[in-house]
């Protein structure tokens, strides 16, 4: 949706006499034009870099000023555009926005990194999306912005990204960008890049459904994930006699947002 048009200040529409006319002219000159919030908020640009922290990503909008991508930064904008027309009259917190953003940003994220869905779920980088501020939204702004960030949901702080993260996972990705976990079990472990000390490595994923499928239930998701990961991790480790594996599965809220995969972890010795 285009940005809202600029709105002029209200003025009297009729006057008689030269003095009143001159007075109104002077007032109009002093008042000038007043821009709507949508017109004054600058839409994002593709390729902009920023220094973002997890608390920034937790917010629906972000007005952090861009920095030069050659300078240290933790975020890069990889997709921008206008929201579909169906959101023209939507509330600021409309539930449909999250599902639309998940599908849109996820696909753009994979294309940007040069990876498939399984690989992007095993990397330390993730993505966040932003909409206009609430004032600008009320003024008619309907753009979106997808940023790659140097960390995930459990990160306390983000790592710096290269000058551009485009193609970051092409070929055989560096361990710097792959996710491992350090702890006695996968659940509750600290997620770290695989270049840091760790006990677990995310090695495969399993798809549990297709777009449009109903959530099969917690029990089915967990058991299916467990059985698959047991076999998949064994194969990844070249079928040892004895091995440990872990798995991460997601609940109905993540399913409704668009995620249909679980992650398998192998216990490794670094």
Residues of the chain with pLDDT under 70: 1-40, 270
Give pLDDT, residue 42.
Answer: 86
Give pLDDT, residue 258.
Answer: 86
Q: How far apart are CA 182 and CA 156, in angstroms?
A: 15
Give pLDDT, residue 7.
Answer: 27
Give pLDDT, residue 35.
Answer: 55
- Tell me the two tokens of residue 19: 């003095």
| 3-state SS, residue 178 | strand
Query: Could you give the C-alpha distances from 116 to 66, 159, 169, 191, 236, in angstroms and in order?
Result: 29, 22, 9, 21, 18
Q: How far apart are CA 76 and CA 46, in angstroms?
A: 8
Domain ranges of the chain: 41-171, 178-270
Name the pTM for this structure: 0.80
Give pLDDT, residue 29.
Answer: 39
CB atoms near residue 26 (< 10 Å)? 10
Count CA atoms closer than 13 A to 104's CA, side-chain side. Answer: 21
């Amino acid at each position: 949706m285009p940005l809202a048009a600029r709105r002029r200040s209200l003025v009297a529409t009729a006057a008689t006499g030269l003095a009143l006319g001159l007075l109104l002219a002077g007032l109009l000159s002093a008042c000038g034009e007043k821009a709507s919030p949508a017109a004054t908020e600058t839409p994002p640009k593709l390729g902009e870099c920023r220094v973002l922290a997890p608390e920034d990503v937790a917010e629906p909008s972000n007005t952090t000023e861009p920095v030069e991508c050659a300078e240290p930064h933790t975020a890069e904008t990889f997709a921008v555009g206008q929201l579909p027309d169906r959101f023209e009259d939507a509330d600021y917190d409309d539930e449909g926005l999250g599902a639309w953003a998940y599908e849109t940003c996820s696909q753009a994220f994979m294309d940007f990194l040069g990876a498939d869905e399984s690989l992007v779920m095993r990397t330390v980088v993730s993505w966040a999306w932003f909409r206009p501020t609430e004032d600008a939204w009320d003024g008619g702004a309907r753009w979106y912005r997808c940023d790659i960030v140097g960390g995930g949901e459990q990160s306390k702080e983000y790592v710096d990204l290269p000058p551009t993260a485009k193609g970051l996972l092409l070929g055989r990705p560096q361990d710097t960008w792959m996710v491992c976990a350090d702890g006695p079990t996968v659940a509750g472990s600290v997620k770290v890049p695989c270049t840091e000390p760790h006990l677990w490595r995310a090695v495969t994923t399993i798809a549990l459904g297709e777009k449009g499928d109903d959530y099969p239930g917690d029990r089915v998701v967990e058991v299916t994930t467990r059985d698959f990961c047991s076999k998949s991790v064994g194969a990844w480790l070249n079928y040892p006699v004895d091995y440990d594996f872990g798995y991460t599965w997601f609940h109905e809220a993540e399913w409704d947002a668009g995620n249909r995969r679980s992650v398998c972890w192998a216990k490794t010795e670094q």
